[in-house]
Amino acid sequence: MRNLRYDWTISEIEKIYNLPFPKLILRAMTVHRQNHKTDEIQGCQLLSIKTGGCPEDCAYCPQSAHYKTEVEREQLLSVDKTLEAARNAKESGATRFCMGAAWRDVPDGEQFEQVLEMVKGVRELGLEACCTLGMLREDQAEKLAEAGLTAYNHNLDTSPEFYGDIISTRVYDERLKTLENVRKSGVTVCSGGIIGMGETKLDRYKLLQQLSNQNPHPESVPINQLVKVEGTPLQDENDLDVFDFVRMIATARIIMPQSMVRLSAGRLQLTDEAQALCYLAGANSIFMGDKLLTTPNPETNSDAELLDKLGMKLFAEATA
Ligand code: SAM
Ligand code: DTB
Ligand code: SF4
């Protein structure tokens, strides 16, 4: 496709990330304007459909059974309750509904059937449906595709080299394999990462390289700032410099021009001005509602106020 590249090198990515700030923003805005409506962002709403007790040991995650956090384990939510949340999300202006489960991989049988029902129901409401359920086989991805799933979220999170410092219960290649299974099924790919976990800048460039060297690029690239949760190994991590967050978003926008770049977790730590900078840098989506999966997120009212002040608005309709 025109202008799309899948061979970005580390040194090119490094140069872009470290451009003088005005040049970086100008370049990101230019690419953004060529490929997207710059005054509209997509509102997505998350729902944790199965919370806590996860066998994986992701060092950032409050839902891992390896750490003692305030998250209480819950069974898989009913289809009715899930669709009620989806209807509410639609009322508040979301056009994409994302269902997350604290699973290592997707279980076969009744629970999977229940998730398929949720996907069908969300699509019937006219919303884009996204799931993030852990590792997925090809046949499971196909079933989700048949149910109408729009996107599957599976983050690479960081560089292959730093991955083992954050997670010991799975390897990077398993992540890549699931992304391949999703791609083959025709469901679009949502994959991004987290910054602020103690990674180096080189780890960030390497994550961006992994994402941008996929052909096609992930249609959706969430950039999360670590939410430091008490009880997790990363609870006392140093604060992320806000300009690094903006630089990460701008670089993602420049090297993956047509992807949705999502300003994801960590918005509560950002001022209005910092969020506005993220939009200038090419972010075109946020999570709405006062909760992400288990941690707090800005209130819908304060998001609406900020968008209004900036003369921006939410997407009126789902795009898929
Ligand atoms: N268990 C599935 C998995 O790991 O793919 C799906 C749910 S998991 C909670 C989804 C994503 O949330 C993770 O890949 C990670 O990027 C993000 N996440 C989890 N905890 C976070 C935190 N404390 N701060 C920022 N992002 C976080
Ligand atoms: C993504 O990249 N971020 C979202 C969504 N994809 C699933 C999840 C953020 C979770 C933040 C921690 C929590 O609320 O539990
Ligand atoms: Fe489990 Fe996902 Fe949390 Fe890792 S990020 S512990 S796989 S819920």
Place of tokens 């046949």: 139
Residue among 48, 49, 58 whose CB has most ligand 1 atoms within 8 A, to mutate: 58
Provide the pLDDT confidence category of residue 319 given band limits of 50, 70 and 90.
confident
Q: Is the pLDDT of residue 73 over 90?
A: yes
Q: Which domain holds residue 43?
A: 10-307
100 lines ligand 1 (CB under 6 A): yes
Confirm whether 143 is domain-assigned. Answer: yes
Separation of CA 234 and ligand 1 centre (Å): 13
Please check whether residue 267 is in contact with residue 24, taking contact to mean a CB–CB distance below 8 angstroms.
no
Average pLDDT over all residues of the chain: 96
Question: pTM to 2 decimals?
Answer: 0.97
Mean pLDDT of the region 92-112: 96
Of all residues in the chain, the percent with pLDDT exceeding 70 is 99
Report the separation in Å between the CA atom of 34 and the middle of ligand 1, taken as the mean of its atom positions: 31
- Residue 61 CA, closest ligand 3 atom number: 3
Say whether pLDDT at 3 is over 80.
no
Kindly state whether residue 101 falls inside one of the protein's structural domains.
yes
Q: Which two tokens stand for residue 215?
A: 């052909």
Q: How far apart are CA 139 and CA 30, in angstroms?
A: 40
Tens of pLDDT, residue by residue over 272-315, are 999 999 999 999 999 999 999 999 999 988 999 999 999 999 99
Q: Is residue 83 part of a domain?
A: yes
Give the C-alpha separation, 276 to 98, whole Å.
24
Minimum CA distance residue for ligand 3 atom 8: 102
Is 81 a residue whose pLDDT tops 90?
yes
- The predicted-structure confidence for 48-68, as pLDDT tens digits, reads as follows 999 999 999 999 999 999 999
What pLDDT, on a 0 to 100 scale, did the predictor assign at position 179? Answer: 98
For 194-206, write each residue's pLDDT tens digit: 999 999 999 999 9
Is residue 320 situated within a structural domain? no
Domain for residue 4, yes or no? no
- Total residues found in the chain within this entry: 320
Rounded CA-CA distance 172/179 in Å is: 11
Residue 2 pLDDT class (50, 70, 90 cuts): low
Structure tokens at 251: 């670089």
1 domain residue, yes or no: no
Question: How many CA atoms lie within 13 Å of 8's alpha carbon, on the beta-carbon side?
Answer: 28
199 residue type, one letter: E
Say yes or no: CB of residue 24 within 6 Å of ligand 1. no
Can you give the three-state secondary structure of 77-143, one letter per residue?
CCHHHHHHHHHHHHHCCCCEEEEEECCCECCCCHHHHHHHHHHHHHHHCCCEEEEECCECCHHHHHH
The answer to whether residue 313 is domain-embedded is no
Region class of 110: left (phi > 0), else alpha (psi between -120 and 50), else beta: alpha
The model's pLDDT over 11-50, given as tens digits with 9 standing for 90+, comes to 999 999 999 999 999 999 999 999 999 999 999 999 999 9
Segment 134-139 mean pLDDT: 97
CA of 273 to the centre of ligand 1 (A): 26
| Residue 84: CATH number of its domain | 3.20.20.70
Distance of CA 260 to the CA centre of its chain: 10
The answer to whether the peptide bond before residue 216 is cis (omega within 30 degrees of 0) is yes
Closest ligand relative to 54 C-alpha: 3
Please work out whether the CB of residue 153 comes within 6 Å of at least one atom of ligand 2. Answer: yes
Residues 236/196, Cβ–Cβ less than 8 Å: no
Q: Does 122 reside within a domain?
A: yes
- Per-residue pLDDT at 311: 96
| 173: its two tokens | 């290649």
Distance (Å, rounded) from C-alpha 245 to C-alpha 242? 5
Would you please indicate which residues are annotated as catalytic (active-site) residues?
54, 58, 61, 98, 130, 190, 262
Give me the number of domains the chain comprises. Answer: 1
Distance in angstroms (rounded) separating the CA atoms of residues 286 and 220: 12
